[in-house]
């Protein structure tokens, strides 16, 4: 497909698994493991989609998303939020902050792939 994904996740084995399945599907995958400078990395890499974990060292995924939508010039960048905090209130907050979609851990690889394809195509 020639499209790129930035995966912001601090769990190395999840990063490896998701990178593997996306690469196999033709995606160019960049990864970043902390929240400190995540917004700058998004700016620099300019991906077609961001997969964003919530519980990150330094800065939470929710804060990164909030800044992305309010400060950054990326209002339309698709963002898929992944989190082990799967309660309704977390889902609602994610959408309120501008997430394109939300997935609770543990998720299936097929779901992630289908969602990534849909969000970029859409």
Partner 1 sequence: MVGMASVGIRIRERRVNIGLKQSELAEKVGISASYLNLIEHNRRRIAGRLLLHLADALGVDPVALSEGAQASLVARLQECAVYHGVDITGDGAAADLAARYPQWAQFMIELDRKVRQLEQAVDGLSDRLSHDPHLATSLHEVLTTVTAIRSTSSILVETDDIEPEWQNRFHRNISEDSQRLAEEAQALVGYLDGAGSDGGSVGSVWDELDGFLAHYEYNFVGHDLSPDGANALCAVPELKTRSGNVLAKRFLSLYAKDLADLGDDEFRTALDKMGQDAAAIAAMCQVPISTVMRRLAFSPREWLERPVGLVACDASGSFFLRKPIAGFHIPRFGSACPLWPLFGALQTPMRLSEATITHTGREGGTFSVQAYADLMPGQTGSHLPIIHAYMTITPNHQDASPSFKVGAACRVCAISGCKSRRELSILSDDL
Q: Is 35 helix (H, G, I), strand (E, B) or coil?
A: coil
26 binds partner 1 (CB under 8 A): no
Phi and psi for 108 in degrees, rounded to 5?
-95, 150
- Cβ nearer to partner 1, comparing 14 with 30: 14
How many residues bind partner 1, per CB under 8 A?
A: 19
In angstroms, the CA 102 to CA 91 distance is 6
| Beta carbon of residue 120, minimum distance to partner 1 (angstroms, whole number) | 20
106 binds partner 1 (CB under 8 A): yes
The footprint of partner 1 (CB under 8 A) covers 11, 13-14, 16-18, 20-21, 24, 55, 84-85, 89, 105-110
């Amino acid at each position: 497909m020639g499209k790129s994904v930035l995966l912001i996740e601090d769990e190395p084995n999840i990063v490896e698994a998701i990178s593997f399945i996306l690469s196999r599907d033709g995606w160019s995958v960049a990864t970043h493991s902390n929240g400190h400078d995540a917004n700058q990395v998004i700016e620099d890499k300019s991906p077609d989609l961001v997969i964003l974990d919530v519980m990150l060292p330094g800065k939470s995924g929710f804060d990164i998303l909030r800044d992305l939508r309010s400060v950054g010039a990326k209002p339309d960048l698709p963002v898929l939020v992944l989190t082990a905090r799967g309660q309704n209130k977390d889902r609602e907050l994610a959408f309120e902050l501008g997430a394109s979609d939300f997935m609770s851990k543990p998720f299936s690889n097929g779901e992630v792939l289908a969602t990534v394809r849909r969000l970029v195509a859409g």
